[in-house]
Amino acid sequence: MLDLYGTKLPSRLLLGTAQYPSPAILADAVNASRTSVVTVSLRREMAGGRGGEKFWSLIQSLRLRVLPNTAGCHSVKEAVTTAKMAREVFGTNWIKLEVIGNHDTLQPDVFGLVEAARILCEDGFAVFPYTTDDLVVAERLLAAGCRVLMPWCAPIGSALGPVNATALRSMRGHFPDIPLIVDAGLGRPSHAALVMELGFDAVLLNTAVAKAADPIGMARAFGKAVDAGREAYRSGLLEPRDVAVPSTPTIGRAVFQ
Amino acid sequence: MKLIVNGEAHEIDAATLAELLAALDYEGNWLATAVNSDVVHTAERAQFKLSDGDRIEILAPMQGG
């Protein structure tokens, strides 16, 4: 079972809650995916507004683990303050830490990320850092106190899938005992299955489900793909070969001359 | 007193953060507040004195990925 900061979770799919056509479809998609964790955020509330209350009531009704994020933060100070505000509102020390460094690619500012991670880990947070597939950055995040790593496989919302599977494979090999979650860039269930086959512990996605023509069906499909990829990894995949190897036994075949 | 609330300027008389929230019709235990980029916890709002020019952020749960 997936173990994140001592919490055991039955599902290896973490699902975002943004961009769904309606709250009802969000709830149905979450249920169809069989996820154990949903990501949420904090935004400015209008005076007299009740939007936050309605959304929070919906999320609470799902009875799942909540992972707040610091999406949109571009500095260490912003991310740390947002994390502390999220801890108070959502009542969890879990935080998906995002410190964005590039407007076009939404690539993490890994220098700010490491610094923010250190501050938050020292303050008792369980930090889930949205990072790149860079091994040195990953080492620094672990030294800062992170016990989970969440590398992107492509830019957020791009649906490109794993653009550098070699780097992901290297990361898995380098950190055999650290939970690794591919966060961002997955577009298709086959992408999720592929990274799970590489040995990743879980995937986190949002746009590919929320913006599908049928988010509920796509959520179900991703859930199945994650399960299939995990079982394939645990079952031992056949390595590719350059030559044909007959699958039907050749011994005892009839000879006609 | 001039205060910046969620990026907008307000001319308002509110001695504390709790008074400001009440004056602007904010209520509920799902709100998070910060003044000048530092978190002010729910229990501290009634005692937290505001000063002219303070920048206040009032956040609520929202969809996120």
Tokens of A212: 């599908």
pTM confidence score: 0.94
- pLDDT at residue A25 in the model: 98
Instruction: Report pLDDT digits (tens) over B6-61.
Output: 999 999 999 999 999 999 999 888 899 999 999 999 999 999 999 999 999 999 99
Catalytic choice (A8, A77, A96, A211): A96
pLDDT at B5: 96
Q: Can you say how many angstroms the Cα of residue A71 is from the centroid of all Cα atoms in its chain?
A: 14
Which residue stretches of chain A are H helix? 23-33, 51-62, 76-90, 110-122, 135-144, 165-174, 189-197, 207-210, 215-235
Is residue A96 annotated as part of the catalytic site, yes or no? Answer: yes
Instruction: Provide the total of helices (H) and of strands (E) in chain A, helices listed first.
Output: 9, 10
Q: What is the pLDDT of residues A59-81, one digit of tens each?
A: 999 999 999 999 999 999 999 99
pLDDT band with cut points at 50, 70 and 90 for residue A138: very high
* A232 and B CB contact within 8 Å: no
CB contact under 8 A, B61 and A19: no
Q: How far apart are CA A84 and CA A86, in angstroms?
A: 5
Q: Is A74 on the interface with B (CB under 8 A)?
A: no
pLDDT at position A84: 97
Tens of pLDDT, residues A1-53 = 999 999 999 999 999 999 999 999 999 999 999 999 999 999 999 888 888 88
The residues facing B4 across adjacent strands are B9, B55
